[in-house]
Each structure stands twice: as structure tokens, then as C-alpha cells.
Amino acid sequence: MRRKIVAGNWKMNKTLPESLELAENLKKELEGQCLCGVEVVVAPVFTNVYAVAEALKGTGVAVAVQNIHQMKSGAYTGEVSAPIAKSAGATKVILGHSERRQYFGETDALLAEKTDAALAEGLEVIFCIGEVLEERKAGKHFEVVEEQVKNALFHLPAEAWKNIVLAYEPVWAIGTGETATPEQAEEIHAHIRAVVAEKYGKEVDEEVSILYGGSCNPKNAKEIFAKPNVDGGLIGGASLKAADFKAVIDGFKC
Ligand code: PGA
């Protein structure tokens, strides 16, 4: 069954004390609240993962890392591997974020390797796809996201997909205040779903959650989450304040 997920991508924000404060505030916001089956995830920076995971123990909020290296260990100065991230308390990893693709040159081929490394450790992968503005203007957005999914994920066996969540993030909507309309999100999500179904069949497709990301906030979350093929959100800016993040989660209120 597709799951409802709201994940906060803290990006390169928050010192250790600030991360702990945000985790504590989120804990307070969620205390005694019905989440209506929504899975909540936060992704702090690497150095704060352990402390945040400890602070959120018992709350049901899962902790993700924002990247991993494709190797398990070795002479890769400055990098963090899947086993290391897992040992710090992460159960998930965000891969293929457009900022990683854009600023760190991550390619589909590399992301395929990183996905394998994550799945080998039992980390769930939140895999990001999305077109840049020029691609949308040229009407290539369907094609672009389709290629990203195929190139990085279609080598996986069907059973691996139970640990894959997709996140459609149009790059022109990330951090810009400009959101895709619910209709734009829906049509791309439906397309991605059809692409996955064509390769793996309905059974796999019906298990895959597809999140929307890109200036999703307390004001627009409800309308976006209401679309039949939108299973939640990957939230940047609005995840940095506990009350805002909670309000986004409430976009799913039953
Ligand atoms: P934003 O970021 O919500 O600040 O646009 C989303 C993301 O990059 O995951």
C-alpha cells in the first residue's frame, strides 16, 4: 500500500543545539496528536543525526541523512557511508536531490550506485527527480523525470522497490516560493506511476509512494496532498520551524 509521508529536508541548516531545539519543538507539536497514518521524517546534517535520532526516539519520527557515499568504507576523505549513517540512527537517505546533482555533479549512474549502497544496508531511499525551468519551458519535463527514474532505478529488482520512495521536485520550485500547481504535480506523478507500472507491473507501482517537493508550505500542502497520486511531501524551508512543519503534516488531517 502506498504510504503517506512528510519528510523535512533540513539541508545545510541548524547547528547541533539548534537541531536539538527543532527536534524538541517538533516532539512537542506532535505529542498526543493523531497523525492520521502519516509517516514523519526529518533529515538533519550528518553531524547532528545521532543526537536528533536520540532526541526523537519513541516518537515514531524517522531520521534520514541527506546523502551517502557509494562505498562502504575506505580512503574517501570527508565522506559518509551507508553503514556509518545507519549506525548513527538514520533509517533513510535522500538521494538525487537537485542540489546534489547541480552543485556536486551527481549523475544518474552515480545515484544508481548510491541507491544500491543504501539498499544493501537496509536504508530506505527517498529518491528525488525533477526538471529545471528550461526543460519545463521546452515541454520536456515528462521525458526528463522518466529518464532520471529509468537511469538510476530500473536496474533494481522488483522487490527492492518496497524500500524506494520517489520525490518529484521541480527544480524551479525549490526554495523559490514558486510551487507547482496541484495539477502540475498530479500529472507528473501520474506519469511517473505509469512508467514504473510499465516496467514492474501494477503490484510494485501500487506500493510506491511519490512525494511532491518545492516550496510546499502550510498554505498549499492540503491542496497538493489531496491529489490522488501525491502521497506526501519533501519539505525544505517549511521544515525548519516545528509549527510550520506540523502545519504541513496537518495537510493530511483525517
Ligand atoms: P523547499 O525545498 O521546500 O525549501 O522548496 C524542498 C527541497 O529541496 O527538498
Q: How many percent of the chain have pLDDT more than 70?
A: 100
The region of weakest confidence among 34-43, 46-55, 73-82, 110-119 is 34-43
Phi then psi for residue 217, to 5 deg, are -145, 180
Closest ligand 1 atom, residue 176 Cα: 5
Say whether pLDDT at 176 is over 90.
Answer: no
Cell triple for 46: 550528518
Q: Is the CB of 9 under 6 A from ligand 1?
A: yes
What is residue 46's predicted lDDT score, i.e. its pLDDT? 98
Question: pTM to 2 decimals?
Answer: 0.97
Residue spans per domain, the chain: 4-249
The region of weakest confidence among 108-122, 146-160, 165-179, 227-241 is 165-179
Q: For atom 9 of ligand 1, which residue has the closest CA?
A: 236
Q: How many percent of the chain have pLDDT more than 90?
A: 94
Q: Which helix (H) or strand (E) holds 190?
A: helix 182-200
Query: Beta 232-235 vs 62-65: how paired, if at all?
Result: unpaired
Quick check: helix, strand or coil at residue 172?
A: helix
Q: Which helix (H) or strand (E) holds 95?
A: strand 92-95
Say whether pLDDT at 228 is over 90.
Answer: yes
Domain spanning 4-249, CATH class: alpha beta
Q: For atom 1 of ligand 1, which residue has the closest CA?
A: 236
pLDDT in tens, 70-94: 999 999 999 999 999 999 999 999 9
Of 49, 61, 60, give the one whose Cα is nearest residue 19: 49
Ligand 1 binding pocket mutation candidate from 126, 133, 216 (most atoms within 8 A of CB): 216
What is residue 34's predicted lDDT score, i.e. its pLDDT? 84
pLDDT band at 152 (very low <50, low <70, confident <90, very high): very high
Helix/strand number for the chain, H first, E second: 11, 8
pLDDT band at 36 (very low <50, low <70, confident <90, very high): confident
Say whether pLDDT at 210 is over 90.
Answer: yes
**10 Å Cβ neighbour count for 251?**
23
Q: For atom 7 of ligand 1, which residue has the closest CA?
A: 236
Say whether pLDDT at 179 is over 90.
Answer: no
Whole-number Å distance between alpha carbons of 64 and 7: 9
- How far is ligand 1, taken at its centre, from the CA of residue 151, in Å? 23
Ligand 1 binding pocket mutation candidate from 42, 129, 132, 169 (most atoms within 8 A of CB): 169
Catalytic residues: 97, 169
| Burial class of 151 by CB neighbour count within 10 A (0 to 12, 13 to 18, 19+) | middle
Please give the mean pLDDT across all residues of the chain: 96
Say whether pLDDT at 253 is over 80.
Answer: no
What is residue 223's predicted lDDT score, i.e. its pLDDT? 97
Cβ pair 249, 211 in contact under 8 A: no
The region of weakest confidence among 11-15, 149-153, 175-179, 224-228 is 175-179
Q: Is the CB of 174 under 6 A from ligand 1?
A: yes
Whole-number Å distance between alpha carbons of 90 and 195: 29
pLDDT band at 128 (very low <50, low <70, confident <90, very high): very high
Half-sphere exposure of 6 (CA within 13 A, CB side): 27
Per-residue burial over 129-145, b = 16 or more CB atoms within 10 Å of its CB, e = otherwise:
bbbbeebbeeeebbebb
151-180 mean pLDDT: 94
- C-alpha pair distances (Å), 126 with each of 41, 83, 94, 169, 222: 10, 17, 5, 12, 21
Q: Mutual orientation of helices 46-55 and 16-30 as an angle, nearest 10°?
A: 30
